[in-house]
Structure 1
Amino acid sequence: MSTMPIPMWVTRVNRRVTNPLMIALSDDVPPLATLHHVGRRSGKRLRTPVFAFPTPHGFVIALTYGPDVQWLHNLEAGEARLVRHRVVYRLTDPVRLHGDDGARLVPAWTRAGLRPMHVDEFVELRAEPIPSTPSL
Structure 2
Amino acid sequence: MVLPRWLARSNPHVANRVLGLFADDVAPLAALHHVGRRTGRRYRIPVLAFESPRGIVIALTYGPDVQWLRNVEAGESRLVRRGKVYVLGAPVRVHGADGARLVPAWTRLALRVVRVDDFVVLPVRTRLDTRRARTPRG
With normalisation by structure 1, the TM-score equals 0.91
Q: Percent identity?
A: 59
Alignment partners' CA distance in 1, 2:40 and 2:57: 25
Residues 50-89 of structure 1: pairs in structure 2 closer than 5 A: 50-89=47-86
Determine if the alignment matches structure 1 residue 92 to structure 2 residue 80: no
Larger Rg: 2
Report the alpha carbon displacement of residue 38 of structure 1 after superposing the two structures with TM.
0.2
Alignment partners' CA distance in 2, 1:76 and 1:125: 10
Question: How big is each residue's C-alpha offset from its partner over 1:19-53, in whole Å with a ceiling of 9 and x where there is no partner?
Answer: 10001010000000000000001100001100000
Alignment partners' CA distance in 2, 1:29 and 1:130: 18
Q: Which range is displaced more, 32-41 or 52-61?
A: 52-61
Alignment partners' CA distance in 2, 1:77 and 1:131: 26
Report the alpha carbon displacement of residue 130 of structure 1 after superposing the two structures with TM.
2.8
Out of 110, 121, 128, the residue aligned to residue 130 of structure 1 is 128
CA RMSD of aligned residues (A): 1.4
Alignment partners' CA distance in 2, 1:83 and 1:102: 22
Give unpaired runs (5+ residues) of structure 1. Answer: none
Alignment partners' CA distance in 2, 1:132 and 1:29: 16
Number of aligned residue pairs: give it: 131
Partner of 2:85: helix, strand, or coil? strand
Partner of 1:16: helix, strand, or coil? coil
Alignment partners' CA distance in 2, 1:12 and 1:125: 24
Give the aligned partner of residue 30 of structure 1. 27
Alignment partners' CA distance in 2, 1:133 and 1:65: 32
Give unpaired runs (5+ residues) of structure 2. Answer: 133-138
The structure carrying a bigger helix percent of its residues is: 1
Out of 98, 108, 111, the residue aligned to residue 111 of structure 1 is 108
Alignment partners' CA distance in 2, 1:100 and 1:43: 35
Alignment partners' CA distance in 2, 1:86 and 1:10: 29
With normalisation by structure 2, the TM-score equals 0.90
Report the alpha carbon displacement of residue 58 of structure 1 after superposing the two structures with TM.
1.8
Alignment partners' CA distance in 1, 2:21 and 2:98: 31
Give the aligned partner of residue 136 of structure 2. none
Q: Give the letter for the 1:40 counterpart.
A: R
Q: Give the letter for the 2:15 counterpart.
A: T
